Chains A and B, each alone.
Chain A
């Protein structure tokens, strides 16, 4: 992955507009956050292969970045995004990494389902 280039990411988001898109969205502070006393809560959530269709998708901020996708009945939102990759399968991978390179948030879009 590379540090986010806003204009490349924005044009990649545009490529998914008004199509059936598979979403991977997650945030985590690590399964051992409490055990290692890095936090007083272990918190994480993910959805893999949620199917969405968005008519508006924007990346904003000065880094770390935020992304909002406006779907028919609501929104998809992520903040803390630092790095991106568009891979060979046309997927857009966005992630936010901390100073140790550990993933804290991810938002990924694909036209075909992500592998389980």
Chain B
């Protein structure tokens, strides 16, 4: 049984699409979840469909969507790092590692969920996952939480083998779906695919087909 879960991702909606069901399972069973969100997704290209956001209004719209999504899956504590979308890999990694380390020491999580560096497609994902792993590795073995790394590059199974954690999230799929809907500006483009059953059709090969059924992670092995 986990005591406290710390989730570290760069964009509002990463927590929902990547592990919203897993988070909901924890919060439903009374385990507190803290979300460290790196940026406000200022440079996202999805503006809603039909679009209702623009480049300048997007950050505050996404911030409000994030608060709503957090409510939907039971996240009570949200920490915003205030970084800028697409720039994390260019920041000083030492400074970012210090900040994450400080948060780790305050929150003292038993489990950390972050992106698997090098296997998470978006440069922000890989960069923040990297500094989070670095921060965890600074802790002594006794203090060190377990890390679930989230990977979804097309070749990630070839590179990493099969994920060792596969969570059946079907019991909390409605909570995840509510969080997906809360991220309205980002999810409206894909939501029509829900209507024609692609979310739940196990034979569908599109990347959304398993979104409400299961979530997978690799337990990070520290060398």
Contacts and interface: CB of A to CB of B under 8 A. Distances in A.
Interface residues of B: mostly helix, strand, loop or mixed? loop
Contact of A101 (B48, B59, B154): B48
B47 A93 contact: no
A57 B50 CA distance: 30
Contacts of B55: 24, 26, 93, 95, 103, 106, 108
A103 B49 CA distance: 11
A70 to B, nearest CB: 24
A45 B1 CA distance: 45
B45 interface: yes
Given A32-B122, A35-B153, A101-B50, A93 B45 contact: no
A24 B84 CA distance: 14
Contacts of B86: 31, 44, 46
A97 B51 contact: yes
A102 B186 CA distance: 10
Nearest to A28: B45
A36 B217 CA distance: 20
Nearest to B123: A31
B189 interface: yes
Contact of A91 (B50, B56, B121, B153): B56
A85 interface: yes
Interface string A85-110: 10100010101010011111010100
Nearest to A103: B45
B56 A32 contact: no
Nearest to A89: B56
A35 B43 contact: no
B56 A36 contact: no
Contact of A36 (B45, B47, B207): B207
Contacts of B123: 31
A47 interface: no
A108 B58 CA distance: 14
A93 B56 contact: yes
Contact of B43 (A26, A87, A91, A115): A26
Contacts of B51: 1, 97, 101-103
B27 interface: no
A77 B59 CA distance: 25
A108 B54 CA distance: 11
- A-B CB proximity, top 4 nearest: A101-B51, A101-B49, A103-B45, A102-B45
Given A35-B154, A46-B43, A102-B45, 7 more contacts: A1-B51, A31-B86, A36-B207, A103-B51, A114-B56, A115-B59, A116-B84
Interface of A: 1, 24, 26, 28, 30-32, 35-36, 44, 46, 85, 87, 91, 93, 95, 97, 100-104, 106, 108, 114-116
10 contacts: A30-B45, A44-B86, A85-B54, A91-B56, A101-B47, A101-B49, A102-B46, A102-B47, A103-B45, A103-B47
